[in-house]
Structure 1
Amino acid sequence: MIEILQWSTLATCAVVAGARVPSALRGENRTVFYIFALLTVAILLSIEAPYVAIDKALGGINLTNLILRFVIFAAIYFVGIRVTKGFDAEDGHRLITGWAGRAVLALISMAVVVLFLMMDTAGSSSGLNGVALKDARNGLLVELYGAAGRAYPTFVSLVLLPAMVRAVRSALPALVRMAAFLLGAGAVAIALTLLFPLWPPQWGTAKFIVNYTAVLCFVIGLALIWAARIRYGRNVPRKITYATAE
C-alpha cells in the first residue's frame, strides 16, 4: 500500500510538472512549475529504491536525506509565496518572505545540518532507519533531526491556514474554494507531522499516509487553482478571481 501511494504521488507530481513546462518556458508563473518540480524530486528521493541508488552514488553516507530536507524546504517556501499572493494574504506573505520567515528558515536549516553532522550516517538507509538502529544516541539524534526537518514546513503551513479558511468561507467560485479546502487540508496534515515523535511506533503506516496526503492535497489544490484560472479567465471582477490570477 505504501509503495502504491508513493509511486502514484510521484506520478501525479511529475505529470502536473510536465504540464506546466510550456508555461514556464514562456515565463508564465514559473513559481508553480518550481513547486511541482521540487515536489517530484522530493517524492523520488523519499522512495527507498531510488534513494539508496542515489545515496550510494554520493558516498553512502545518507547525504541524500539532507538534500531531501532542503528540497522540501524550497518546495514549501514556493508554495507559501504562491498561495499567499494568490489569495491576497499579504500578512502571511510578509511573514514567510520577511525577516521573521528568513530567520526561522536559517535557524531550522542550521539545526538540520548540525544534527546531521552529529550522527553516524554511514550506510544508505531511506528514512535513516538504519542510522536510528545503531545505538540510543543515534536514535535520539534521528528523532531530533526529523523534528527539525518538519518544523519549517509546519511554520509555513500554519501561516497559510487562516487564508485558506477565509477563502473556503468566502463567495469565491466553487473551484477556487475547493482548492482552498485542499490546500488547508494539506497544511493541517503537515502540521500534524510535528507530532510524529508522540505517535506510537505501530502507527508507522499512518505517518506515511499523512505525509503523502499533504503532498497530494497541495498538488491537487494548486492544479485546481490553475484550472480555475483557465475556466474563469480575466472576464469577471477581481474580487472574485484574485485567487486564480497568475
Structure 2
Amino acid sequence: MSSGTLIQWIALAICVIFAAARMPDAVRGKGRCMFVVLVLFVLAVALSLPPIYLVVDGLLGGVNVANLLIRFSLYAIMLLLGLRGAAAFGSRRAQALIRGPVGISVLGFTVVATVILFVLSDLPESSTGLRAYADQTTVHWYAHLGRIYPAYVGACLLGPAAANALDTTARGLHRLAAGMMAVGFVMVLAHMALKLTGIRTGAADVYLPFGAIVLVTTGITLIWLSRRRSAKDGSANFLAGEQRRF
C-alpha cells in the first residue's frame, strides 16, 4: 500500500469515527448539520478508494455516476460548513460571501457546469478519479471545476478561522480547532493553485486534499468537544452563542 493510499484510508477512518461519535447528539436533534457534513465526508472519501468506488459505481450503472456523487457531496459539505463556520467564527462578511448573491452564483455555476461537463464526457466504464479519461478536455476541466467552490468557501473562512486561532482570549481547545481548520483551508487553496499552474503535483494530489479533510474534520470535532466542555462549566468562548450550531 502506497503512502497516498494509506492517508486516504486514515482519512476515511477518522471521518467514520468522528461521525459515529456525533451520532447520539444528532439523534437527539443536536448538531445535525455538522453530523451530515461528517457523513458526507465519509461518502466522499470512501468513493475516492478504488475498492469502494468500483463496487458502488457498478451498482449505479458503471458509468462513473459515483464520481458525480463525490462532487455533489463536496459541494454540499462546503456549503454547510461555510454557513456554520462563518457563524461560529463570528464573521458576517464570510456569511454574506457564502450565502449572498456572489456565493450562490459561484455554487450555481459550479453545479450546472459540473453536470454539463460530466454529460459531455465519454465515460463508458468505471474509473476511480476518472484517471482512465484524463486525456479528455471535458474531464480535465471537470476536475478543475470541482475545486472552485471548495476553494471559494475555504478562502471565505480562512481569515475568520485564523483570527480565532490567534485570539488569546479564547480557550486553548478552540484556538487549536480554528488553527487546524485554517491550515486545512490553506491546503485546499494550495492544491487548487498548484493544479492551475499545470505542473506535475505528484503525491501532493493526495496529501493536500486528504490532509485538509483530516485537519478540518478534526477541527470540527474539537469545537464540538469544546462546546460540550463549555456547557458543563458555563464558560464563554469565541463561538459565543453560535457554538451550539456547530
TM-score, scaled to structure 1: 0.92
- How far did 1:243 drift? 6.4
Q: Return the letter of the residue paired with 2:17.
A: V
Give the Cα separation in 1 of the matches to 2:212 and 2:242. Answer: 20
Displacement after TM superposition at 1:172 (Å) = 0.9
Task: Give matches, 1:37-186, under 5 Å.
Answer: 37-133=39-135, 138=136, 140-170=137-167, 171-186=169-184
Equivalent residues of 1:173, 1:240 under 8 A apart: no
Deviations 1:55-106 (CA, angstroms, capped at 9, x unpaired): 1221211111111100110011111112111111122112212222111101
Residue identity matched to 1:212: F
- SS of residue matched to 1:51: helix
Provide the secondary structure at the position in 2 that maps to 1:177.
Answer: helix
RMSD of equivalent CA atoms: 1.6
Moved more, 85-94 or 35-44: 85-94
Distance 2:61 2:236 in 1: 56
Tell me the amino acid that sits aligned with residue 99 of structure 1.
P
Could you tell me which runs of 5 or more consecutive residues in structure 2 were left unpaired when the two chains were aligned. Answer: none
For 1:216 and 1:154, locate their aligned partners in 2 and report how far apart those are by CA, in whole Å.
16
Q: Tell me the number of residue pairs that the alignment of Structure 1 and Structure 2 aligns.
A: 240
- Aligned residue for 1:120, secondary structure, equals coil
Tell me how far 1:148 sits from its aligned partner: 0.5
- Percent same amino acid among aligned pairs? 30
Q: Is the 2:19–2:39 contact (alpha carbons within 8 Å) kept by the matching residues of 1?
A: yes
Counterpart selection for 1:2 from 1, 4, 10: 4
Contact 1:13–1:40 (Cα < 8 Å) also in 2: yes
Q: Distance in 2 between matches of 1:227 and 1:239?
A: 14
> What residue number does 2:235 align with?
236
Unaligned segments of structure 1, at least 5 residues: none
Provide the residue aligned with 1:29 in structure 2.
31
Specify the code of the residue in structure 2 equivalent to 1:185: V
Distance 1:241 1:102 in 2: 27
Q: Does 1:198 align with 2:197?
A: yes
Q: Distance in 2 between matches of 1:239 and 1:131?
A: 46
Distance 1:199 1:185, change over 3 A: farther
* Normalised TM-score (structure 2): 0.92
Q: Which amino acid aligns with 1:235?
A: G
Distance 1:148 1:6, change over 3 A: same
Which whole-Å CA distance do the structure 2 matches of 1:205 and 1:121 have between them? 25
Contact 1:87 1:167 in 2 (8 A): yes
Contact 1:232 1:241 in 2 (8 A): no
- Does 86-95 or 190-199 show the bigger shift? 190-199
The structure with higher relative contact order (CA 8 Å, sep 6+) is 2
Q: Larger deviation: 164-173 or 38-47?
A: 164-173
